[in-house]
């Protein structure tokens, strides 16, 4: 079991006042709230913060925790000494509304679980909490639809009210045409209910894997297509990748860099919504490497008088 430095988690000194602890908690809770924060590990951090506050806001628990001394490091291997909690009375009672089901092994072994002892005899029938998770999928899976196996860790409470975490594996259908930010609701796959109540729901939010070629904007797929000056000037038929495979695209003559071509229906399409692929032309100049090649550019300069800056003149 790893030691948790609750003071460090909240960013307060060991001699902080209860008011300072409350203020620090509110500040970091806002910063790492999973609905607000974009930090990659916000969910885990928020859980740690809640756990740290659950201990430090309660003078009795805080005093018991402080007994271990200040020399422990976050993450260090830790076993509580026998009878370490003699003289403190919080086991099975002092829970103040926070949902303790997601707290760490460290917390559980020190303070038990909120639903121990006396409390358990009056369990209300209650629906389990909804669980929220993000799943990262490649664009191709959203384009075609896919099947994915995901594993979530979730707290499990046994008959004696002891909590452990166990992996929960699910096989999920990713429907064709799902887009980033949309959620799949799996009824009854959330946390278990209390007192025979139904389980909560699981919400899976779709996040797209970064793709080296394509970029999704809602249902449209964007692609930058490098073309030569003569392809752009004279027109050409080019092979362009799409999520559904390669297609032939006609580049009209006199196309400028930045021109956008829309390939209808080649984006993320669902039963009733169509997405397109937007191809943006990027003209790439060949570097003249030989005298002959430099001469070609000079010939162009002589034979094609052209001022691209005429719009800047006043």
Partner 1 sequence: MIEQRIYIQGMVLNEEMRCSLADLCSLCGVNAELIHDMIEEGIITPEGPSMREWCFTSVAVKRVQVAMRLQRDLRVNLPGCALALDLLDELEELRRLSRRR
83 binding partner 1? (CB under 8 A): no
Least Å from the CB of residue 31 to partner 1: 11
Do residues 274 and 265 lie in contact, with contact meaning Cβ atoms separated by under 8 Å?
A: yes
Count of residues of this chain found to bind partner 1 when the rule CB under 8 A is applied: 37
Encoding tokens for residue 288? 């003249």
In the stretch 193-232, what mask flags binding to partner 1 with x, by CB under 8 A?
--------x-xx----------x-x---------------
- Considering the complex, state which of residue 3 and residue 203 has its C-beta at the smaller distance from partner 1: 203
38 binding partner 1? (CB under 8 A): yes
- Considering the complex, state which of residue 14 and residue 185 has its C-beta at the smaller distance from partner 1: 185
Residue of 33, 62, 154, 168 interacting with partner 1 (CB under 8 A):
33
Element (H, E) at 273: none
Least Å from the CB of residue 186 to partner 1: 4
- Considering the complex, state which of residue 271 and residue 304 has its C-beta at the smaller distance from partner 1: 271
Least Å from the CB of residue 58 to partner 1: 18
The residue to which tokens 């974009």 are assigned: 38
Residue of 13, 133, 136, 173 interacting with partner 1 (CB under 8 A):
173
Least Å from the CB of residue 48 to partner 1: 14
Cα dihedral sign, 234-235-241-242: positive
A 10 A CB-CB count for 10 gives 24
Do residues 224 and 282 lie in contact, with contact meaning Cβ atoms separated by under 8 Å?
A: yes
Least Å from the CB of residue 147 to partner 1: 5
The residue to which tokens 């829309």 are assigned: 262
Would you call 184 helix, strand, or coil by DSSP? strand
- Considering the complex, state which of residue 34 and residue 241 has its C-beta at the smaller distance from partner 1: 34
Encoding tokens for residue 128? 């389990």
Residue of 67, 133, 187, 226 interacting with partner 1 (CB under 8 A):
187
Do residues 246 and 207 lie in contact, with contact meaning Cβ atoms separated by under 8 Å?
A: no
Do residues 161 and 91 lie in contact, with contact meaning Cβ atoms separated by under 8 Å?
A: no
Element (H, E) at 27: helix 18-32
Residues 98-157 that bind partner 1 (CB under 8 A): 127, 130, 147, 149
182 binding partner 1? (CB under 8 A): yes
Residue of 183, 199, 241, 283 interacting with partner 1 (CB under 8 A):
183
The residue to which tokens 């490649």 are assigned: 138
Region of 13-21, 101-109, 270-278, 282-290 interacting with partner 1 (CB under 8 A): 270-278
Q: Which residues pair with 207 in a beta bridge?
A: 136
CB within 8 Å of 87: residues ≥ 6 apart: none
- Do the strands 183-186 and 236-242 form a parallel or antiparallel pair, or are they unpaired? unpaired
A 10 A CB-CB count for 189 gives 20
Least Å from the CB of residue 46 to partner 1: 8
Least Å from the CB of residue 202 to partner 1: 8
Encoding tokens for residue 38? 């974009």
Do residues 264 and 286 lie in contact, with contact meaning Cβ atoms separated by under 8 Å?
A: no
Residues that bind partner 1 (CB under 8 A): 26, 29-30, 33-36, 38, 46, 50, 127, 130, 147, 149, 170-173, 175, 178-179, 182-187, 189, 201, 203-204, 215, 217, 270-273
């Amino acid at each position: 079991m790893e030691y948790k430095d609750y003071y460090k988690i909240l960013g307060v000194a060991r001699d902080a006042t209860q008011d300072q602890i409350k203020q620090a908690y509110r500040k970091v809770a806002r910063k790492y709230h999973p609905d607000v924060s974009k930090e990659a590990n916000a969910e885990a951090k928020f859980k740690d913060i809640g756990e740290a506050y659950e201990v430090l806001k309660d003078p009795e628990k805080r005093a018991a925790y402080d007994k271990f001394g200040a020399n422990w490091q976050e993450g260090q291997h830790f076993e509580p000494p026998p009878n370490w909690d003699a003289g403190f009375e919080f086991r099975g009672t002092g829970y103040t509304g926070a949902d303790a089901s997601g707290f760490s092994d460290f917390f559980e072994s020190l303070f038990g679980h909120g639903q121990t002892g006396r409390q358990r005899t009056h369990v209300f029938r209650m629906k389990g909490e909804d669980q929220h998770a993000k799943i990262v999928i490649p664009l191709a899976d959203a384009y075609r639809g896919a099947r994915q196996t995901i594993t979530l860790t979730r707290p499990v409470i046994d008959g004696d009210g002891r909590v452990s975490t166990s992996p929960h594996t699910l096989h999920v259908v990713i429907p064709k045409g799902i887009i980033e930010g949309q959620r799949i609701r799996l009824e009854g796959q959330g946390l278990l209910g209390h007192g025979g109540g139904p389980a909560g729901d699981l919400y899976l939010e779709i996040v797209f894997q970064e793709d080296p070629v394509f970029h999704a904007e809602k249902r449209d797929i964007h692609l930058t297509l490098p073309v030569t000056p003569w392809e752009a000037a004279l027109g050409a038929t080019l092979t362009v990748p799409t999520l559904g495979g390669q297609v032939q695209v006609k580049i009209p003559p006199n196309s400028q860099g930045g021109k956008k071509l829309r390939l209808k229906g080649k984006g993320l399409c669902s039963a009733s919504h169509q997405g397109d692929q937007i191809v943006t032309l990027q003209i790439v100049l060949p570097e003249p490497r030989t005298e002959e090649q430099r001469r070609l550019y000079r010939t162009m300069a002589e034979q094609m008088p052209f001022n691209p800056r005429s719009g800047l003149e006043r």
